[in-house]
Chains A and B, each alone.
Chain A
């Protein structure tokens, strides 16, 4: 399975933008890049996903490098509620078929300072 590499932790200040990096140098052409986050004592929460082009939604923006070997999740103005573990995941096809699954890594623990 193609793997992702993320920093173990990052810190940000409230109201400031946050750029969360993810490396996926072995990504294949059919892999989508998904981001989820997990707040303390909760299940993961979908944030955003993309394939090649940059994507925006109400929660965040996803910037994908031209060679697709890395991507960045951008929180435009961090709030205390954004403190969570952020997972960058490749939606990769399961071997032997066209079914897809999500393989979660360790993620990045984002701390937001007031």
Chain B
């Protein structure tokens, strides 16, 4: 069974721009969660989608948004990028909602200059 895939793997953007990251979950998984990982703050939960509905949200500004499609693929969007948004963005899928056994992708490394 294929694992969680994330595209692109690396991205360089300029302050003020926006970015869209993509995540394809494991086949049959309907929950997708997004995390931000930085050296200073560690792994922080962004949001979770299940069956196209946002089920849970972390403490991030409204510039961070996401959506999930009917095939469970998910996208995350960050608008008006700031230098502090430079991070590894990880996507995790699971069969059930609610942070059960999660399978993580390799992440997208975003650098904001």
Residue numbers of A with Cβ under 8 A of B are: 34, 36, 42-46, 49, 87, 91, 94, 99-107
The answer to whether A105 and B42 touch across the interface, beta carbons within 8 angstroms, is yes
B42 near A44: Cβ-Cβ < 8 Å: no
Cα A94 to Cα B72 in complex, Å, equals 23
CA distance A105 to B41 in the complex (A): 9
> Considering the complex of A and B, which 5 residue pairs feature the smallest CB-CB distances, nearest first?
A43-B104, A104-B43, A100-B98, A99-B56, A100-B99
Report A-chain residues with C-beta under 8 Å of the C-beta of B55.
Answer: 99
Q: Chain B interface residue count: which class? A: 20 to 34
B104: contacting residue among A44, A49, A105, CB under 8 A: A44
Q: Check if B98 sits within 8 Å of A106, measured CB to CB.
A: no
Q: Is the CB of A101 within 8 A of B90?
A: no
Interface contact B104-A99, CB-CB below 8 Å? no
A103–B45 touching, CB < 8 Å: yes
| Chain A residue, CB-CB nearest to B4 | A43
Supposing A43-B90, A43-B92 touch, asked if A101 and B99 sit within 8 A by C-beta, the answer is: yes
On chain B, the residues within 8 Å of A107 by CB distance are 42
